Amino acid sequence: MKGTEMKKLQVWWIPQVPMKAFKVPVTSIAEGIKILDTLAFYDIFLFKNNIKPDYCNAGGLQEWVEDAGEGEPGWVDWYDEETGCDDPAEYPDLTPPCDRECCGAEEEGSRYPQDSSSVSRNVPDEDGAL
């Protein structure tokens, strides 16, 4: 997406597989990543606070194309034709992921916690403090 062409994008999220996905339109890859991260951390929060006993979620970023197969337009999983990147979190034109402890990153450049136990610092205690 280095050119001037803007693509129509949406985030899809399944909070509990195998249920149906819900979809949210987004205006950029960065916005899509932010929504995907928020949904993922929300599911971890619900699990850590015993609201969900377990979960199996899935999500991704899609783009609208004029030929999604058999000459018909439709939504397909996003990828960058120029770089071959198909993971929006690794897209080279975006700023590096957060490296602060508050977002659960364990090392600089880490996008997600290495395991769910490291997320505990993001979960408020009984008084609501982090």
More confident residue, 57 or 85: 57
- pLDDT, averaged across the chain: 75
Helix (H, G, I), strand (E, B) or coil at 110: coil
- Residues 6+ away with beta carbon under 8 Å from 73: 64, 65, 66, 67
pLDDT digits (tens, 9 = 90+) for 19-76: 999 999 999 999 999 999 999 999 999 999 989 888 899 999 999 999 999 889 999 9
Q: Where are the domains of the chain?
A: 9-95, 101-130
| C-alpha span between 116 and 59 (Å, rounded) | 18
What pLDDT is attached to residue 86? 84
pTM over 0.75: no
Nearest alpha carbon to residue 38 among 116, 112, 110, 121:
112
In the chain, the amino acid numbered 70 is: E
Q: What is the pLDDT of residue 92?
A: 65
Distance, CA of 54 to chain centre: 19
